[in-house]
Chains A and B, each alone.
Chain A
């Protein structure tokens, strides 16, 4: 199993956070720091791509729980994409699909943000 890694990059109209390896009590503080940095920079449209993540425990889930309200209060969202069945299994165990939009591929999650931007432009 790979070590944990995290990277962020802009894919307009959102920011993509790519996760890989294992996300547990040891590595979750790195994700927490990344979300804190994103919020400080007022980046509220976030897609998390789990494609290369092999493992997640509640320490990782807790980070998503801690930031989702702040992001939504700022008209943004954290959309999740690309989970392996193993990782989805952990989210599903605690009922997270009720709280988060989860997509098979990150392109679908990014499209949702694009649609929202187009809708708000059409409304104005």
Chain B
């Protein structure tokens, strides 16, 4: 494992073809690393689920299923933070305020999409959208081992 600035350790770095069949590989890696870092199996499973949702959004919305594209997944940790960062070059996501989840209304409206964002926000302690210096989209997902910053 390589030491990064600010006392973080890069535990995993992988470039992933933007295809939904790759989701399984990513979530298995995230779950494995989360358990190694010290999360209980249920929390590790939830973190992998949140990352799965974020990757699926990149594939289906940022790249609109353009299968020749790819995105990057990095996992870095310090003593208390488990940080997953996703980089892509697709259409930028404009985060707004996430409305309250009303599943009865969604069912009445036959609304199928958008649930992944709720899962990401429920599971992760911090979610930050940004842009890198080379204009790539960057989504940073943080989970604290001890529940607080």
Binding site for B on A (CB under 8 A): 1, 22, 24-26, 55, 57-59, 61-63, 65-70, 86, 89-90, 93-96, 98-99
Contacts of B112 in A (CB 8 A): 62-63, 65-66
Q: Which residue of A lies closest to B56 (CB)?
A: A25
Measured in the bound complex, the distance between the Cα atoms of B49 and A94 in whole Å is 13
Interface flags, B54-97, vs A, CB<8A=1, else 0: 00100110000000000000000000000000000000000000
User: How big is chain B's contact interface, by range?
Assistant: 20 to 34
B87 to chain A, nearest CB (A): 19
Contacts of B21 in A (CB 8 A): 26
Contacts of B108 in A (CB 8 A): 69
Docked-complex contact B106 and A65, CB < 8 angstroms: yes
Q: List 10 A-B contacts (CB under 8 A).
A: A24-B20, A25-B20, A26-B20, A26-B24, A55-B27, A58-B56, A58-B116, A59-B116, A62-B112, A67-B110
Chain B interface SS verdict (over half): helix
Chain A interface SS verdict (over half): helix
Binding site for A on B (CB under 8 A): 20-21, 23-24, 27-28, 42, 45-46, 49, 52-53, 56, 59-60, 101, 103-104, 106-108, 110-113, 115-116, 118-119, 122-123
Contacts of A1 in B (CB 8 A): 24, 28
Contacts of B53 in A (CB 8 A): 57-58
